[in-house]
Structure formats: C-alpha cells, structure tokens
Structure 1
Amino acid sequence: MTYVIHGATGAQGAPVVAALAAAGQSVTALTRNADVVVAGAQRVVAADYGSTAELTEAYRGADGVFVHLPVVSEEDRRDYARNIVAAVRAARPARVVFSAGGAPIDPETGGAAAALAGGLAETGVPHAVITPTLFLENLLMPYVLDTVRERGALPYPIRAGFPVSWASHLDIADAVVALFDRPDITGVVSVGQYPAITGPDLAEAFGAHFGKDVVFEQITPEQFRSSVAPLIGEGPAADVAGAYAAMSALPDRSITPENSAQKLLGITPRTTGQWLTDMGL
C-alpha cells in the first residue's frame, strides 16, 4: 500500500507521514524540493499545487492521497483546489482523505475548501473529508505561548465562554491513518474534543501543565492579525482575522457526535493536557 502525503514536511503533513510510517505503510512525500530528506518516507516527490500535471503524476497508482490546502491567499487556494480535483479525476487514486483545516465546506460559502470538497465528490473517487474546528497548534504561536510563559495569560480571538472542539495535527494524523484503513467510511468526519471546551478551560490546562496560574484573555481579530502577519504574511493574516470575526457571530465551534471520529473511527482526540505533553512542551 502506497500513500501520497501533501506537505510532508509541514505542520499537517509531517504527523501523517510519521503515523503511517509507524504503521508500517509505504509513504510518498510530496514537497516543493525533491532533495529534502523526509523521515519515514520511502520516496520524496516534488509536486507543486499550481501544476495539475505534477499532481496527476504523483497521484497515479496511489492507494491513498492525503491533501490539505496551504495557508496562502484564498484566491491561490481556489486555484489549488481546482488543480487537485483535476488531478484526482485524471489519476484516479484508490482513495482521497482531505482535511479542511477548519475552513467551512458548505458550498454556499464559495470558499476554496468547499470547492475542493464538492469537486472531490464529483470525481466519483472514494473519499472522506475531515473537518476540524480549531487547531491546538495555533496556541504555539510565539505571541500566544510567550504570553502564557511571561505573564500567565492565554490570548486568543474568541469569547471566553465560546465552546470549541479543539483538535491537534496529531489527532488529524490518527484519523487519516484510520480512514485509509477504513474505505467503507466516506463523507464528513469531524475531529475534535467533545464536549467542546472554553477559553478558561484551555487556560486551566496550560496552567496545570506549566505549574502556574494562567487566565484566558480575549483579544480582537485585528490584534491576532497583527501578531500572525510576520509569520504567514499580510494577505493570509487578513483572511485569518476575517474568519475569526465571522466566528464571533456563532454560538460555538463544537463538533456533533453523529459524524465524529469518536463514533465513526473509535478515536478519542487528545485532551489539551495530553497534547501539551505529547508535544514535549
């Protein structure tokens, strides 16, 4: 069995490579540079999201493909979604698992993730769509983690009482491996903590892990934008801030039990404390 993994050296792809390697599976790592060494991968292939031809060649003959959209401008993400769908249609891999990365997949949103999810359905290739809400790894950004360590506050652009089914990239990797092994499960699979937890719950978990008092601190989407722009660029940072502004109108970001990884795959995502330990912090 050979599995093709997008972004194999990145935050989302690398844990999938590691999990598949640990399960004894053959991995083809997709990167921007074929000369890099990817631990756990049998083969490294340079394939650009912007090239349908390169993606098609990479997908051909694969038993599974894991794909996610990178953090770039939404316009580029839409282009990449079209290219991925075209490559899947041409190459016909046995299965595709797509992580929407917290982006909405409702067609009415008109977003790139929705276009990719809808396009995969139209190809007729067996697939599953993982829908996390917010990633715990967001809390590792210097602005957040440094504030926790320096003054015992956890800043984030959500309301204190806003419940979220947080998930980690490690949880996504566990779900991807399980879905590659379960071709009978198709459609949407939600990955995240359930019941959902609030900002103060997060702060309490950080405090328990670091052995200090930590309080949750609500910040504005604009404050968050300015903190992440140096890391991801002004355009993507503005898109992220816009997403948090829109989120502020919602009652929560909780998964539902019916299509959860807990029910469909028998996988329970890590608690915040478990994740902090697994990350070696």
Structure 2
Amino acid sequence: MKILVFGARGSQQFNVIEIAKKKGAEVVAATSSEKSFDKLKNAGAEPVIGNMSDAAKMNEITKGIDAIAFMIPVSLPNPFDGLDYSKNVIDAAKANGVKKIVWNTSGWVPEQKIGVPTDDVKLDIKDYLVNSGLEYVIIEPTIYMENMMGGFCAPFIKSEKKLAYPTPEAMPIGWIASKDVSAFVVEAIYNADLKADNFQISGLENLKGNDLADRFSKGFGDHIVYYAQPPKEFKDILAPYVGEAGASAVASYYESLKTATVYPPKFNPEMNKVLEKLPVKMTSLEEWAKDNKAYFSN
C-alpha cells in the first residue's frame, strides 16, 4: 500500500505517517517547502514538493499512489481557494487510478451553508468528492486537543494558570487528540468495506469549559481554570502565525458563538458505533494533558 499524505508536516496529519508505517505502508508526504523534508524523512515518509494549487504537480505526485490521506490548509487567506485545491487533487487521483481518498475535514461539516467561509467551502468540496466516482471516506473530527498548544492558549497556562479558548464556558465539546484522528484516517484507508462513508468523530467526553479545565488540571498536576477568551484577543494572537485574513476567517466562527442561543454540536454520543467499524484506542483529555505536561510547563 502506497499512501500519499497531505498536511503531514502539521499536527493534524503528522501521525498518519507513523500509524500507516506500522501497518506496512509506504508513505509519501506532500509539502510546499523543502524546509519540512528532514522532519518528514525522520518520521519515515518520502517527502515530495507538491503545492495543491498546481494541478500539473498533483497529477505528477499521485502517479502510483494507492490511497490519499487528504486535507486542505485550515487558514487560507481566501478559504474558497480550498475548493480549487481539492479539485486538483481529486481530479489527479481519478486520472491516475487512486483507489481511495480519506478526507480529514478539520471540523464537522455543516448540513447547509452558514455564512462562515471556512465551513461553507467544505460543503462544495464534499459534493465534488462524493460525485467524483472515487471510493472515499470522510472523517469529520471535532476540536483538536492540540489546539490548546497554540500561542493563544499555552502561554496562559504557564503564566496565569488559565486554559484560554475562544468558546463560551457553557459550550460542550468532545475534544479529540490528533493522533486518534490520524488512526481513524489510516483505519479508513485499510477497511475495504468502506467505499462511500462519512463519520463524525469526537472524544468520548463532552466537556464544558470548567469540566475541560478540571480534566486538564488532573493530567497536568496543577489547578488550571477556564478562560473564555474574547475572539478579538484570539485573532490578534493568531494573526502573526497565519496572517490577518486567515486569523479573521477563523475568529469569525468564534465570534458567532458569543450570541448563540443553541451551540453547534461538537460531540458524537454514538462513538461506539464508529469504533466498531474503525477500531481506535481513544485518548482522554486527562491522559493527553499528562502526556504533554512538559510542553505546557516550558
């Protein structure tokens, strides 16, 4: 099995390399910069230059590939560029006889367009993939535990003993570890019975802000309180990393939550059914905080 991974240099897809290698796969990792080559090689992948905006390059690097672990960049300056990027990959996969695409959507996809570009474009991508004629599995994860490692959160834990996140305290979330999502992606690639399937996945606990801080505190070994971060503060901290436009696009989603009377669901109470088809050992928030204590301490 030869698997082409997109987004492998980032936390969302990096673990796909190790998990797929353990199953005996040959892994090729597409990246837009040679600066990532050493990291990808050390993880066991063959790095290749492949900017998703380049249709010819996508056609070149998908030759000889059996399956694709696919995702689009989260913080594009123009989120709607994600549709063109996706078309380039999907068209190349179809032309070169790729057997299956597994798409990590980086969040649950809404049932209809809601006026948030980063979410709305995923509906167009989904339509294009579903109608491509390729075998596919769509993996929709909730919010990543690794998001707490961002510059808008981690420094608050160390300096103020606050777990900062731009969601209201009352909003429950089934936080999920990125390594678990990567495991779902790999299991979906290897499950031959899955050919046109969609899974909404979450962690096994549905935690409001104070519950989140409690679980984190137990794993971290110190008392941490929840801080519902104002979206503008979040955007200002994020902008130097992803650019003003990208930060504004992401922050607009969190801004909409401030006045929400009903919060969007971020928890699947029927994960047991998902785990029957995609057997993955799930990571609890407490376990994750314990495993990453050194990161937040330093």
Give me the TM-score of the superposition, normalised by structure 1. Answer: 0.91
CA distance in 2, matches of 1:259, 1:54: 40
Cα distance, 1:155 vs structure 2? 1.4
Change (3 A) 1:107 1:42: same
In structure 1, the partner of 2:197 is 187
Cα distance, 1:31 vs structure 2? 1.3
Cα distance, 1:269 vs structure 2? 2.6
Q: Percent identity at matched positions? A: 22
In structure 2, the partner of 1:72 is 76
Q: State the one-letter code of the partner of 1:6.
A: F
Change (3 A) 1:94 1:278: farther
CA distance in 2, matches of 1:34, 1:241: 30
Q: State the one-letter code of the partner of 1:202.
A: L
In structure 1, the partner of 2:162 is 153
Cα distance, 1:276 vs structure 2? 2.5
The runs of 4+ residues in structure 1 deviating greater than 4 Å are none
Superimposed CA distance per residue, residues 221-280 of structure 1 (whole angstroms, 9 cap, x where no aligned partner): 222111211111111100111112234524342224169633431324311122233446
1:271 to 267, 284, 287: 284
Change (3 A) 1:194 1:211: closer
Deviates more, 1:82-91 or 1:111-120: 82-91
Change (3 A) 1:210 1:194: closer
CA distance in 2, matches of 1:258, 1:193: 8
SS at match of 2:188: helix
1:196 aligns with 2:206: yes
Cα distance, 1:47 vs structure 2? 1.0
Q: How does 1:174-253 map to 2 (within 5 A)?
A: 174-185=183-194, 186-248=196-258, 249=260, 250-251=262-263, 252-253=265-266
CA RMSD of aligned residues (A): 2.2
Q: State the one-letter code of the partner of 2:80.
A: E
Tell me if the contact between 1:12 and 1:169 (Cα under 8 Å) persists in the aligned partners.
Answer: yes
SS at match of 2:199: strand
In structure 1, the partner of 2:59 is 56
1:169 aligns with 2:172: no
CA distance in 2, matches of 1:160, 1:198: 6
Cα distance, 1:34 vs structure 2? 5.3
Between 1 and 2, higher relative CO (CA 8 Å, sep ≥ 6) is seen in: 2
Cα distance, 1:135 vs structure 2? 1.1
SS at match of 1:104: coil
In structure 2, the partner of 1:89 is 94
Tell me if the contact between 2:8 and 2:29 (Cα under 8 Å) persists in the aligned partners.
Answer: yes
In structure 2, the partner of 1:27 is 27
How many equivalent residue pairs?
A: 281
In structure 1, runs of 5+ residues without a counterpart are: none
Tell me if the contact between 1:85 and 1:116 (Cα under 8 Å) persists in the aligned partners.
Answer: no
Superimposed CA distance per residue, residues 96-141 of structure 1 (whole angstroms, 9 cap, x where no aligned partner): 0001101525353572222222111111111111101211111011
Change (3 A) 1:159 1:34: closer
Cα distance, 1:182 vs structure 2? 0.5
Give me the TM-score of the superposition, normalised by structure 2. Answer: 0.86
Q: State the one-letter code of the partner of 2:31.
A: T
CA distance in 1, matches of 2:97, 2:125: 16
Q: State the one-letter code of the partner of 1:213.
A: H
1:13 aligns with 2:13: yes
Q: State the one-letter code of the partner of 1:123.
A: S
In structure 2, runs of 5+ residues without a counterpart are: none
Cα distance, 1:143 vs structure 2? 2.9
Q: State the one-letter code of the partner of 1:216.
A: Y
Change (3 A) 1:29 1:202: same
CA distance in 2, matches of 1:267, 1:106: 26
